[in-house]
Amino acid sequence: MSEQKRFFDKLAKEGYTVLVPDMCPIHFDLLSHYLSQTGMKLVVITPTGREAKDQGLNAIHNDACYPVIIIAGAFIQELRSGKYDLNKTAVMISQTGGGCRASNYLSMFKKAFAKEFPNVPVLSLNFSGLEKEHSLPLSIPRALNLYFGVIYGDFLMNLSNQAYAYYPKEEIDACLKECLTYLKARIGHPKFFQKRRVLRYLLEKFKPFQPCGERKPRVGVVGEIYVKYSPYANNHLGDFLLKEGCEPVFPSLNEFVLYCLYNYFVDHDYYGRNKKSYPLLRVAYRYALGLTRLSAKMLKGTTFLPFDDFEDVIASGKKVINIGVKMGEGWLIPAEMVCFAHHGVNNIVVVQPFGCLPNHIVGKGMIRPVKALCPDANIVPLDFDASSTSVNQENRLKLMLSNAKLGK
Ligand code: SF4
């Protein structure tokens, strides 16, 4: 038995509670439920107010990027809450293993926790072989369950974001809850992989909430992955857009998964890497693409709009940037902007974390070429900083939305 497996078996046997940050609320609710079946109890933490940000600023050097500051702060706030046995609590984050600072977040957390929480292990969930001993073992069934969870989570995120714009929140919340209960009862069992049946069930539940009447202005959100999806990190951007009478459009989480997968092919083509794994990765990519296309196909005959096709996203990206640019979210950000604009989502918010050089270059830095290609695009970059309030962001958004509503 490997060291890694022995370590995680020990945590499960001792009934450890594992805290995870709230990135995509729908997806993480489902995935944490599944991973709790391993014996460890996963708790998705959902901070509110300023405290977690202040704790993060105290614990992490303030030139670090915004996501590490707020995630560390949220962990510290939760660990101090008195709700957990600190000898049986761990924290876990997901990592992609790219060349960016996120690959070093674990050592930053360990340093921040060293004095106050020396017994709290810092764990990783990744597919890249990082932090070998402390990364959750991923067997094929486990990886597949997690991946299908992402697909279904995306499907629900897409339907609910469109439904919230036209129907009362309580009704959509109840529908979402029912769908998640259905998925939680299946995840980890073979019937979870009956994709058509599962997607059909979710769609049937949402059919009464199809967008109707005149379509509201659609506002696309692109940018750094954590800030894009986490309501705490982006100061509840989705809710703000809904309140302003818009329809928020978040790209699928699977689009980021496909982006990471596609970058292996870029490395193969540009640098001759991944020669052995290339054929297998190709098969995985085609399969993943097929699943997303199935999700889109299921929406035919309804007024729900599907996510953009990933091959369209790649083609859009190639018009404005070299796909060898892949630090941070790399070419994906301008690609998503162009793809949104090509499909009529001309109002676009680019979320930018403080201290994130790569995403400033491919986000704010690419607005001019994107606008040259798509003159109708109405793009606003939004900076997120742990020490600032949301007032500036809201003012910038209101200015951008005033143009959106006038159809400029
Ligand atoms: S992409 Fe930006 S926010 Fe993410 S780890 Fe890198 S520097 Fe930090």
The closest of 355, 382, 381 to 367, measured between CA atoms, is: 381
Instruction: Determine the topology of domain 3-136 in CATH.
Output: Rossmann fold (3.40.50)
Pull the structure tokens for residue 225.
């992955």
For residue 407, what pLDDT band results from cuts at 50, 70 and 90? very low
What mean pLDDT do residues 245-274 have? 94
- CA 351 to ligand 1 center in whole angstroms: 12
pLDDT digits (tens, 9 = 90+) for 368-396: 999 999 999 999 999 999 888 888 889 99
Condensed to tens digits (0 to 9), the pLDDT of residues 91-116 reads: 999 888 777 888 888 889 999 999 99
Give pLDDT tens digits for 309-330. Answer: 999 999 999 999 999 999 889 9
How long is the chain? 408
Place of tokens 């050097």: 61
What is the average pLDDT value for the chain, to the nearest integer?
93
Return the closest-CA partner of residue 386 out of 232, 184, 189.
Answer: 232
231 and 250 Cβ atoms separated by less than 8 Å: no
Residue from 109, 260, 356 whose mutation best tests the ligand 1 pocket (most atoms within 8 A of CB): 356
Q: At CB < 8 A and 24+ separation, what contacts does 314-317 make?
A: 314/262, 316/342
* Nearest of 77, 93, 90, 92 to residue 119 by alpha carbon: 90
Rounded Cα distance between 235 and 390, Å, is 7
Structure tokens at 125: 């969930």
Could you tell me if 81 and 33 are in contact, meaning their C-beta atoms sit under 8 angstroms apart? Answer: no
Q: Is the pLDDT of residue 190 over 60?
A: yes
Query: Which residue in the block uniquely carries the two structure tokens 């540009």?
Result: 270
Ligand 1 pocket, Cβ-based, cut-off 6 angstroms: 65, 67, 100-102, 224, 328, 353, 356, 358-359
Token pair of 110 as six digits: 């360990």
Give dist(CA 231, CA 233) in Å, integer. 6
**Can you tell me the distance from the alpha carbon of 3 to that of 114, in angstroms, rounded to the nearest whole number?**
23
The reply to whether domains 3-136 and 215-251+308-402 share a CATH topology is: yes
> Among 60, 62, 96, 101, which residue has the most ligand 1 atoms within 8 Å of its CB, making it the best to mutate?
101
Question: Whose Cα sits closest to atom 7 in ligand 1?
Answer: 356
**Domain edges within the chain:** 3-136, 215-251+308-402
Q: Which one is predicted more confidently, 280 or 129?
A: 280
- Domain 215-251+308-402: give its CATH architecture: 3-Layer(aba) Sandwich (3.40)
What's the pLDDT at 365? 94
In the chain the first and final C-alpha atoms are separated, in Å, by 62
Rounded to an integer, the average pLDDT of 268-290 is 93
- What are the phi and psi torsion angles at 153 (to 5°)? -60, -40
